[in-house]
Structure 1
Amino acid sequence: MVKRVETTSDSVVDRVYEQLKAMAVSFEFKPGERLNEGAIAARLGVSRTPLREALNRLNTEGFLRFAPGRGFFCRELDAQEIFDLYELRKSIEISAIRLAIQRARDQDIDALLTFLRDTGPDPGERTSMELVKLDETFHEGLLSMSNNAEMLRVLRNVNARIRFVRWIDMDRINRTKTQAEHRAVLLGVKARDEAKCVPVLEKHIDRRLDQITSAIKEGYAQIYMPAAGLTRAL
């Protein structure tokens, strides 16, 4: 009986965590906004206990901020933090691809090549969110070939924390070029040739601080302008 209660509780915390994470990633909470725990608990239909567990987990993972005596806050869109996360992403992926050159199975490489072919270089009618999801799927699939689960866990955290900026950034990217780079990296892994894939991947991921700052400015406009427009309409 006790075991069943614990399982249900864990399930509730996981559900609330995923809901809050989606809200934090998309900046449904405004940057720097203090979270009203009572209002959020009522909205999600949960008590304060699972809500607080989920909030603490998100704070630990860098999606929220906690100030003692003040509560939880939505993280800011900070250019230096995003830049640091891009550097972390690049470091992880470069290390992982070196492992993948040694460990990747040809059938897994071919499966990812098929994924690139099937999703195609043409963005079509896909939204920026859908295109970023495809890109994350590729990079996580590439890293999976390293057979290092901890690297993959960290990459997924980084991807989620930079996702909002990547949605903005996606509108500026030439998908035909990026898909060609994806293919070149995979073919380099298949040839077990580090010199053919590491430089391409490094340049592919790299972002300058001024590029990130520009994307963040546009991001703030997208966060606040709809609210401003609604206020004017009322």
Structure 2
Amino acid sequence: MQQVSFHQKRGKGRPEVLAERIYQTIKNDIFDFRLMPGDRFSESELAQRMGVSRTPVRQALFWLEREGYVEVWFRSGWQVRPFDFEYFEELYDLRIVLEREAVRRLCGMPPGRSAERLAELKTFWIDQPRLEEGKTVSPHDEGFHMTLVSAAGNSEMARIHADLTEKIRIIRRLDFTREDRVDATYREHAAILLAVLTQQTEEAQRILTAHISVSKAEVRQITLHMLQQARRQTASSE
């Protein structure tokens, strides 16, 4: 399932093509720790580095601010939002609540209906050959969890879950930098699907809760390690 960010909801054919490119560049810099949590910068610095005017840079930064990646410091420019692990863990806890409820609803549906709604997930996670590259698997992992919630049939619950997914993406993607985590994701997704399709509510919720909880712990550990590496690289280049 393709993710749709805040600014993409504004519609196609918009004139902000340059701002879109700048937005993606800055976001990639944040995701890859070229811009570190807590780093401060000005619109003028970014505009000069990218060879553009400040107007599209400012527009891109406001999109990123809306999504929670940067924050404005009036009179002193912008800052990459520092990591608040307590905040991210609260979001993960909310994920568990929403997805457990989605699983409960799916297990309560007639088997034919839930099988139809989850057919694409079963094909990808159980029937087809596995993908090996973590960066390729990561968006499919998001799609798995978002489809579980949307298939439950509550559009407002799905909207909240989609917003939550966007907020945790900056650290969640790091869960797929290790081969063992890719393998675990395939195994656990398959187990969740089979439990749902056989209407084993408690088992499906148990596996799902453990799956998200382990991911939360792994992501925190990996994020801290990646931050330490990025800081060492920055210090050695100065």
TM (normalized to structure 2)?
0.75
Offset at residue 172 of structure 1 (A): 7.7
Alignment root-mean-square deviation, CA: 3.1
Query: In structure 2, what is the equivalent of residue 107 of structure 1?
Result: 116
1:196 correspondence with 2:203: yes
Alignment partner of 2:79: what SS?
strand
Offset at residue 200 of structure 1 (A): 0.9
1:166-208 deviations in Å (ceiling 9; x for gaps): 35xx528454443222112112222344223111101110149
Q: Find the aligned partners of 1:212 and 1:110 in 2 and give their Cα distance.
A: 29
Match runs of 1:12-27 below 5 Å: 12-27=18-33
Q: Say if 1:7 and 1:208 are closer, same or farther in 2 by CA, change over 3 A.
A: closer
- Among candidates 24, 33, 58, match of residue 39 of structure 2: 33
Alignment partner of 2:228: what SS?
helix
Q: Find the aligned partners of 1:165 and 1:81 in 2 and give their Cα distance.
A: 17
Q: Find the aligned partners of 1:225 and 1:57 in 2 and give their Cα distance.
A: 30
Offset at residue 54 of structure 1 (A): 2.1
Match runs of 1:23-102 below 5 Å: 23-101=29-107
Q: Find the aligned partners of 1:228 and 1:115 in 2 and give their Cα distance.
A: 43
Query: In structure 2, what is the equivalent of residue 184 of structure 1?
Result: 191
Q: Find the aligned partners of 2:78 and 2:198 in 1 and give their Cα distance.
A: 49
1:82-106 deviations in Å (ceiling 9; x for gaps): 3223223323322333344456642
Q: Find the aligned partners of 2:21 and 2:129 in 1 and give their Cα distance.
A: 30
Alignment partner of 1:66: what SS?
strand
Query: In structure 2, what is the equivalent of residue 3 of structure 1?
Result: none
Q: Structure 2: give runs of 5+ residues left out of the alignment.
A: 1-11
Offset at residue 64 of structure 1 (A): 1.1
Q: Say if 1:18 and 1:95 are closer, same or farther in 2 by CA, change over 3 A.
A: farther
Q: Find the aligned partners of 1:203 and 1:57 in 2 and give their Cα distance.
A: 34
1:216 correspondence with 2:200: no
Given that 1:64 and 1:72 are in contact with CA atoms closer than 8 Å, whether structure 2 keeps it comes out as yes
Offset at residue 157 of structure 1 (A): 0.8
1:49-92 deviations in Å (ceiling 9; x for gaps): 23212212211221112223222111223332332232233233
Q: Say if 1:153 and 1:176 are closer, same or farther in 2 by CA, change over 3 A.
A: closer
Q: Structure 1: give runs of 5+ residues left out of the alignment.
A: 1-5
Q: Find the aligned partners of 1:174 and 1:153 in 2 and give their Cα distance.
A: 22
Q: Find the aligned partners of 2:168 and 2:21 in 1 and give their Cα distance.
A: 20
Q: Say if 1:15 and 1:152 are closer, same or farther in 2 by CA, change over 3 A.
A: farther
Alignment partner of 1:55: what SS?
helix
Given that 1:165 and 1:216 are in contact with CA atoms closer than 8 Å, whether structure 2 keeps it comes out as yes
Q: Find the aligned partners of 1:194 and 1:155 in 2 and give their Cα distance.
A: 24
Q: Find the aligned partners of 1:8 and 1:45 in 2 and give their Cα distance.
A: 21
1:6-59 deviations in Å (ceiling 9; x for gaps): 954344433433332232233221221112312322344443223212212211
Q: Say if 1:29 and 1:222 are closer, same or farther in 2 by CA, change over 3 A.
A: same
